[in-house]
Amino acid sequence: MKNGTIYLKALIHISLSSLGFLYLQCPAQVHKDEIIKTIFIKRDEIVTKFSNKTIFIRGEKVIYKDSSFSSNYITFNLKSNQLFLDNSDLVDITVDLSQVEKRANELFSFMQKLGVKAISSEEKALGIDIQLYLPDNRKVLFVREPDKVKNSKWKDYISGLTKLNANWYYTQ
């Protein structure tokens, strides 16, 4: 019985050591899955904050659009993870720009905490409410009403994605 116990302890030790080794071998996968998990946990907040908004980075510029008040994009200069309004492209905007800048900074900061590099609601008319672009070129999609997506290309695309729940999907 004593030899059996020693053998079992050695087997458990080897198994646990192997699991630890495997865990250390795939931190990128763990990190990638953590981003998806965080997005899914914060999904209600994401929908509330980013419905009708598009934010993406182009070098030292951040392009922002809030369809609730304008059909135009607003450009911000990015310096030290802070957005500063670029007045060179402002046309036909009749809102308090300091409030727009403040809101854009809040959203940009939230995106960074999520680990997202861009967010778009540009395909909302086609049924894709929000697309989140991840640093590893994967995407997470929020589709409020999947049955109402009529574009065959989008339907095929969504059907090939991994489903988190009835409204959330991601690319592998």
Confidence of residue 94 (pLDDT cuts 50, 70, 90): low
| Structure confidence at residue 139 (pLDDT) | 96
| Number of structural domains found in the chain | 1
Is residue 35 over pLDDT 80? yes
Confidence of residue 18 (pLDDT cuts 50, 70, 90): very low
Domain with 157 in it: 32-170
Q: CB neighbours (10 Å) of residue 6?
A: 10
Residues 6+ away with beta carbon under 8 Å from 105: 82, 83
pTM, whole model, 2 decimals? 0.78
CA distance 131 to 102: 23
Q: Would you say residue 17 lies in a domain?
A: no
Q: Would you say residue 23 lies in a domain?
A: no
| Residue in the structure block whose two tokens are 């046309």 | 91
Q: Would you say residue 150 lies in a domain?
A: yes
CA distance 138 to 135: 7
Q: Would you say residue 15 lies in a domain?
A: no
Confidence of residue 2 (pLDDT cuts 50, 70, 90): low
Mean pLDDT along residues 59-75: 86
Is residue 17 over pLDDT 50? no
